[in-house]
Amino acid sequence: MKVLAVDPAIRNTGYAIIEGDQHKQFAIDYGVIRIPQKLPQSKALAAVRTGLKNLIQQYEPEVVAVEGIIYVQSMRTAISMGAARAATLIAAADAGLEIYEYAPKKIKQAVVGNGNAGKDQVAFMVRALLGLNETPAHDAADALAIALAHLAAQDPLKASILQMKNI
């Protein structure tokens, strides 16, 4: 299975393309779609959508896995993250792809074994699990972790732990 995983944000959207199953996975591509601060929010959202659309066209994933809504203390941050998530969902829906979402704690639990793991721990484990030569940037590492969590969810023994949602 080929998965496009996305850690949505308006300025730094992490993405990962991983192929494999619950037993063996390899990273095809990963990185961060970086949007300049000077770009207005509406254009930044369009750029996120276009960047993801281009990845979908290039790699032809079978599904998209996205980090679910997280709780933040700032209303402004919550609105911004929700808008980036919407841009992600629209890009995937436009391509006719199935979309799955995973709670941040469940992703960390699947990859690190601890739902409260820090970003450095997630990046370290992603690097180790995928045999990467470098530690990915945090946003890319988060996307890689989302993809790994999705593939783990395909294992009937782990699926109930992750409680994936098809949206």
pLDDT at 75: 78
Residue 7 bears catalytic tag: yes
Which of the following is catalytic: 134, 139, 142, 155? 139
Mean pLDDT of 89-93: 97
- Candidates 15, 27, 9, 13; CA nearest to 151 is 27
Q: How far apart, in whole angstroms, are the C-alpha atoms of residue 78 and residue 19? A: 31
Reply yes or no on whether the pLDDT at 53 is more than 80: yes
- Judged on CB neighbours under 10 Å (0-12, 13-18, 19+), 78 is middle
pLDDT at 162: 53
Which of the following is catalytic: 60, 62, 67, 155? 67
Residue 139 bears catalytic tag: yes
Which of the following is catalytic: 7, 21, 134, 142? 7
pTM summary value: 0.90
Domain that holds residue 71: 2-166
Reply yes or no on whether the pLDDT at 133 is more than 70: yes
Total residue length of the chain:
167
State the residue for tokens 């199953």: 21
Number of C-alpha atoms within 13 angstroms, CB side, residue 143?
28
Give the number of domains in the chain. Answer: 1
Residue 67 bears catalytic tag: yes
What CATH number is attached to the domain comprising 109?
A: 3.30.420.10
CB 91 within 8 A of CB 52: yes
